[in-house]
């Protein structure tokens, strides 16, 4: 793919200044930029940089912004455009509202909402922490107190907040306060972030109903917390299910299998409890 030299050089410079870029990534980027600045063949330098980054890229082990850059120089058309974050920053219209949910890795929390009619936008990001402008590396490292979350902007004439909460329960394990499925750590804990008293009452009532119904063997531990600043995640993470369909399919399948197995276990447990109760009544 023929590269736009001015754009690639500008991206190299920005990545060198980006605090989220790892030192070893920065050293490779710097070598390429110095070579280009000193008159070396542009395509040769970018080709060498791509080859140096490839082993980690294939293992999905580059930082998000460097990943985006790698995908651009290798011609992955699905990720050339930046995700439009304007809806996050715009004021809500007369029939719009927002819901913020954390339920493990945000890669798996977008598609179930975004593909529904009446959902205006779903944005992956970080919230609930104590640092401004956190990066993915910082959040995953547990340095910021943030959780991975999704901000859902929805049409209130089609969806109610209560209906979104009900869908949220179907996607998460509300009995695990230390993460979700294979995602472990405080940055993956399940949280419903409420923007006002109405949302709080709806979330608490829904959580209580879930506990009363006895669908789960263990206690419902999903937290309900007030909203704080929601920081949109890097472009690489937005609409991950569209950019990386194969990887997303595997993640989604693993999550569905886990939840299905959990529900089967619960049904067996509830059946055993009913059987024991009946036996005790017969004895009486």
Instruction: Report the pLDDT value the prediction gives residue 246, as an integer from 0 to 100.
Output: 86
Instruction: Report the pLDDT value the prediction gives residue 28, as an integer from 0 to 100.
Output: 95
Q: Which residue, of 79, 98, 117, is where some domain finishes?
A: 79
Return the beta strands (E) in 87-208 as ranges.
96-102, 119-127, 147-155, 179-180, 183-184, 191-194
**Gyration radius of the chain over CA positions:** 23
**175, 95: one domain:** yes
Mean pLDDT of 196-201: 98
* In a domain? residue 44: yes
Instruction: Report the pLDDT value the prediction gives residue 233, as an integer from 0 to 100.
Output: 93
**103, 146: one domain:** yes
**193, 64: one domain:** no
* In a domain? residue 263: no
What are the tens digits of pLDDT across the range 134-144? 999 899 888 89
| DSSP designation for 122 | E
* In a domain? residue 256: no
Helix (H) or strand (E) holding 202: helix 197-213
What are the tens digits of pLDDT across the range 24-68? 999 999 999 999 999 999 999 999 999 999 998 887 788 888 988
* In a domain? residue 12: yes
* In a domain? residue 277: no
Residue 23 gets the label, from left (phi > 0), alpha (psi -120 to 50) or beta, of alpha
* In a domain? residue 104: yes
**214, 94: one domain:** yes
**179, 230: one domain:** yes
* In a domain? residue 217: yes
The catalytic residues are: 105
**27, 98: one domain:** no
Tell me the whole-structure pTM to 2 decimals. 0.78
**71, 107: one domain:** no
* In a domain? residue 130: yes
**115, 224: one domain:** yes
**115, 12: one domain:** no
**51, 98: one domain:** no
Give the structural domain span for 73.
Answer: 5-79
Mean pLDDT of 108-128: 97
pLDDT score of 193 more than 60: yes
Are 153 and 121 contacting, i.e. CB atoms less than 8 angstroms apart? Answer: yes
Instruction: Kindly report the CATH number assigned to the domain that includes residue 216.
Output: 3.30.1060.10
Q: Which residue, of 79, 99, 119, is where some domain finishes?
A: 79
Instruction: Report the pLDDT value the prediction gives residue 189, as an integer from 0 to 100.
Output: 96
**144, 102: one domain:** yes
What's the number of domains the chain is made of? Answer: 2
pLDDT score of 256 more than 90: no
The encoded tokens of residue 54 equal 């490839």
Are 124 and 88 contacting, i.e. CB atoms less than 8 angstroms apart? Answer: no
Q: Which residue, of 39, 64, 79, is where some domain finishes?
A: 79
**108, 214: one domain:** yes
């Amino acid at each position: 793919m023929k590269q736009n030299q001015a754009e690639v050089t500008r991206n190299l410079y920005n990545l060198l200044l980006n605090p989220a870029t790892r030192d070893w990534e920065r050293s490779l980027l710097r070598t390429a930029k110095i070579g280009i600045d000193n008159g070396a063949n542009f395509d040769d330098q970018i080709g060498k940089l791509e080859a140096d980054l490839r082993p980690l890229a294939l293992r999905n082990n580059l930082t998000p912004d460097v990943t985006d850059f790698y995908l651009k120089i290798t011609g992955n058309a699905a990720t050339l455009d930046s995700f439009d974050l304007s809806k996050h920053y715009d004021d809500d219209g007369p029939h719009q509202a927002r819901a913020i949910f954390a339920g493990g890795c945000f890669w798996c929390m977008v598609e179930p909402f975004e593909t529904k009619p009446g959902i205006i936008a779903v944005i992956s990001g970080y919230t609930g922490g104590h640092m401004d402008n956190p990066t993915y590396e910082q959040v995953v490292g547990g340095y910021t107190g943030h959780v991975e979350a999704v901000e859902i902007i929805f049409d209130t004439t089609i969806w109610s907040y209560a209906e979104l909460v009900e869908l949220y329960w179907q996607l998460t394990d509300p009995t695990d306060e230390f993460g979700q499925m294979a995602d472990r750590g405080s940055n993956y804990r399940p949280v419903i972030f409420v923007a006002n008293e109405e949302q709080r009452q709806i979330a608490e009532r829904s959580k209580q109903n879930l506990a009363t119904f006895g669908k789960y063997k263990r206690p419902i531990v999903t937290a309900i917390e007030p909203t704080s600043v929601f920081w949109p995640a890097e472009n690489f993470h937005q609409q991950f299910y569209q950019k990386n369909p194969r990887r997303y399919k595997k993640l989604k399948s693993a999550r569905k299998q886990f939840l299905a197995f959990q529900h089967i276990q619960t049904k067996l447990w509830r059946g055993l409890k009913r059987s024991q109760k009946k036996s005790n009544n017969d004895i009486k």
